[in-house]
Structure 1
Amino acid sequence: MKQRFSELGLDRWRAEAGLLDETERAILRRRERLFIAWKAGKGILLLPLSTFRQLLNLVFLLADVERLHGAPRRRMIAGRGCVIDRQTWLVNGDSIELGDHVKVSAFSALVAGAEAKIMIGDYTILGPGVFVVAANHGIAKDGGIPIRYQAWNEKPVHIGSNVWIGANAVILPGSRIGDGAVIGAGAVVRGEVPPGCIAYSRGAGLNVRERQ
């Protein structure tokens, strides 16, 4: 019979299967009591440190929620009846404008520029994981400045009223989506989608057709 705590499960199975004699069963019961005492002692010793770490992690988590959601949301312009799930990421809230009854679903991101705005009309729905961005990093090779620190290139994004944007769609800087349009799940939009049309990805391109 194994003597390590890590083998307790196997030895319990052996006892239930009748593979241990009385002496081995007594040793197993003693090891189980020692294991319980060891776990309890370890928990008591580590509880203060564990509690401190959990509190510290909670503070960092709340700080991130405030930075990425709370503060930008308070600065943005939003109409009546808007719903913005807490699991959304908002950047430059001063440059985000929502009409009435807009729905932004969980895990979406609205990344406005310092000046370039994201404007969304009334009754528009953004599905889960939608990414709307009005600014991209510069990617110039010359100058010796890493991409991480290059200035943003900004272009405003206009999304009309009564638009439905499917899950995980990406709306790139400078895009303009007309009223009543539907953007398919996973589509990448760059440029203009006319009012009342459906746009969806097929292969490397974006297909656009009239809504029926």
Structure 2
Amino acid sequence: MIRSFARTFHQRHRFDDLELDRWRAETSEATETDRFDLRHRERLFFWWAFAKGVVRFPMTVARSATNIWAFIADLERLHGAPRRAMRTGRGCVLDRATWLVNGSRIELGDYVKVSAFSALIAGFDARISIGNYTILGPGVFVVAANHGVAANGVPIRYQPWSERAVVIGDDVWIGANAVILPGTTIGSGAVIGAGTVVSGEVPAGAIVHQRRGSLVVRPRQ
């Protein structure tokens, strides 16, 4: 009912046409009566906007407080609590926009850098281990668990996880948006190209990237 009244009031006084009417008044296309009506509508619009602001302000404050609380709760659930449970070496950097799951099963060496929007998803048993000086670019997903996909009538979301540990060596660089699947082992000094999906074993010192849908593996020079 209130919204209907507000819409009707807004349309009756043609508040959407104020800019057009101001232009007409400035270009001398409006009569004196039109200018008087315009000034009246402008004053009415000012008080209308003021009244709406007074009514909406408490609701805006309450909604903002709720949104801030929800953001803090999500930050604690997805980053804070798992971060405190992790085993990390010296000088590690984890951007706050990272998603961590089962932090007690994640182990980082010294001076590891995990960039924004990355995810480290360990299993309930399967660990993720990352060696010293390794860099994860933005949006990298390292996953040690997958949902079950049995056709047993149980939704995939509720099926038990299939878990395999992920081990990443020292001085590895994983490019932006790469995906490291369960059971993967990446040797020290390897480079994973941006957007590459990696599964299995990557030799130490190798460069791995995708080209035309195929996986290319070559040694670092």
Which category of TM-score, normalised to the shorter sequence, fits these structures? Answer: over 0.9
Query: What is the match of residue 134 of structure 1?
Result: 144
Query: In structure 1, which of residues 152, 157, 167 is the aligned counterpart of residue 161 of structure 2?
Result: 152
1:2-21 correspondence to structure 2 within 5 Å: 3-21=13-31
Distance of 1:153 and 1:16 partners within structure 2:
72
Distance of 1:17 and 1:175 partners within structure 2:
72
Query: What is the match of residue 178 of structure 1?
Result: 187
- After superposing the two structures, state which structure 1 stretch, 86-95 or 53-62, moved more: 53-62
Q: Give 1:123's aligned amino acid.
A: Y
Moved over 6 A (4+): none
Distance of 2:204 and 2:40 partners within structure 1:
76
Deviation at 1:62, TM superposition (A): 0.7
Distance of 1:8 and 1:162 partners within structure 2:
63
Query: What is the match of residue 98 of structure 2?
Result: 88
Unaligned runs of 5+ in 1: none
Query: What is the match of residue 209 of structure 2?
Result: 200
Distance of 1:129 and 1:17 partners within structure 2:
54
1:35-184 correspondence to structure 2 within 5 Å: 35-142=45-152, 144-184=153-193
Query: What is the match of residue 190 of structure 1?
Result: 199
Secondary structure, aligned partner of 2:138: coil
Unaligned runs of 5+ in 2: 1-11
Secondary structure, aligned partner of 1:207: strand
Query: What is the match of residue 4 of structure 2?
Result: none
Secondary structure, aligned partner of 1:53: helix
Distance of 1:90 and 1:41 partners within structure 2:
46
Deviation at 1:3, TM superposition (A): 4.2
Q: Please give the per-residue CA displacement for 1:181-208, whole angstroms capped at 9, x wherever unaligned.
A: 1110000001111111110012333211
Query: What is the match of residue 44 of structure 2?
Result: 34
- After superposing the two structures, state which structure 1 stretch, 33-42 or 67-76, moved more: 33-42
- After superposing the two structures, state which structure 1 stretch, 43-52 or 11-20, moved more: 11-20
Distance of 2:194 and 2:92 partners within structure 1:
22
Q: Give 1:37's aligned amino acid.
A: W
Secondary structure, aligned partner of 2:60: helix
How many residue pairs are counted as aligned between the two chains? Answer: 210
Distance of 1:175 and 1:13 partners within structure 2:
67
Distance of 2:203 and 2:87 partners within structure 1:
25
- After superposing the two structures, state which structure 1 stretch, 30-39 or 147-156, moved more: 30-39
